[in-house]
Amino acid sequence: MVEWHTERVSDECAVMLTLTIRHGVGDDPEKLRSGVANAFRYLQRGSPWIRQRNRFGIRLIRALEPTHGPNGWHPHLHAVLLTELPLDGDVRPWLSNRWRSVVEKALGPEYVPDDEHGCVITPCHKADYLQKLGLEISAPGKAARAGHRTPLQLLADFVYDKDAEALQLYRAYAKAMKGARMLTWSRGLKADAGIDDRTDEEIIDGEDGPEKSIVGVKGEVWDMVRDFPGVKAGLLEVAEFAGATGVRAFLEDINEEFGIWPPDLDPTLPPSDGTMATGPPRTVTPDGTTR
């Protein structure tokens, strides 16, 4: 979407708006989530917003991202603003003041952020600027700010480290986020850019032909290793990032450490289409550590 827009207009006409609130330990995540969403709705209501929207031709994609850190739950918003004219220097202070006002209306004065952190505008015309937007489900290894964990990091900490508190936090997240819209788009934006939404059924059926396997694992080997902690997720990870070479190295590392099958046994089978994908070795040990 950003590439389509900047090629049509200019790089200066795509920026990321990050909106946060003040929060603390013990705050109810469901209250914070709904409050942030309501504040953003208030932000876009009324003649002041309509004037700025019409002046610059603003359309947007908004993402909701919750993390957990030393000060409790931190739901915040990232919105890509696509404009027909570059935003001028007056927009940021106007947005900051308006955001602080609508946060107070939605949640109360104790949640109003300071001017420096509540509203931040950064360039986003390059792909690496968009990593923060969260347009796809974040992997457990996604880096949040120091001391903060994403929901999938919480879940991974429970699975691999048996962190019971992380599980409770993840359950609180799941309850708080039920029914929330993670992404919202300005009306008509997808159609103008030629982005075609597919239903879940269409995605499952597939429109790009059958998937190709990268490599197979011999049945007797699978029977020996499938109950190792981290093996199933590890195989998927190395298959994605390192292909057949990574899968073979992953299994051979397990065998080298535990001596499960004869060293001359190749644990893998060729892929079903006869090709053999390769890549740099990248392994995940049975305890779930990637190296």
275: phi > 0 → left, psi -120 to 50 → alpha, else beta; which? beta
Cβ–Cβ under 8 Å, residues 151 and 66: yes
Tell me the CA distances in angstroms from 179 to 33, 63, 193, one per residue in order. 11, 14, 27
pLDDT in tens, 207-219: 555 566 778 899 9
| Phi, psi (degrees; rounded to nearest 5) at 76 | -145, 165
Q: For residue 191, how many other CB atoms are within 10 A of its CB?
A: 11
Q: Which residues does the chain have with pLDDT short of 50?
A: 134-143, 274, 276-286, 288-291
Kindly tell me the sign of the dihedral angle through the C-alpha atoms of 97, 100, 103, 108: negative
Every domain of the chain and the residues it spans: 2-136+180-197, 209-291
Cβ–Cβ under 8 Å, residues 212 and 271: yes
pLDDT at 49: 95
Residue from 177, 183, 92 nearest 133 by CA: 183
Exposed / middle / buried, residue 256 (Cβ in 10 Å: 0-12, 13-18, 19+): exposed
pLDDT at 211: 60
pLDDT at 206: 61
pLDDT in tens, 111-165: 999 988 899 998 887 666 565 554 444 444 444 555 788 888 898 899 888 999 9
Tokens of 89: 């220097």
| Phi, psi (degrees; rounded to nearest 5) at 72 | 85, -155
The H or E element spanning position 223 is: helix 219-225
Amino acid, single-letter form, for residue 274: G
Is domain 2-136+180-197 in CATH 2.60.40, yes or no?
no
Kindly tell me the sign of the dihedral angle through the C-alpha atoms of 243, 244, 249, 254: positive
pLDDT at 179: 86
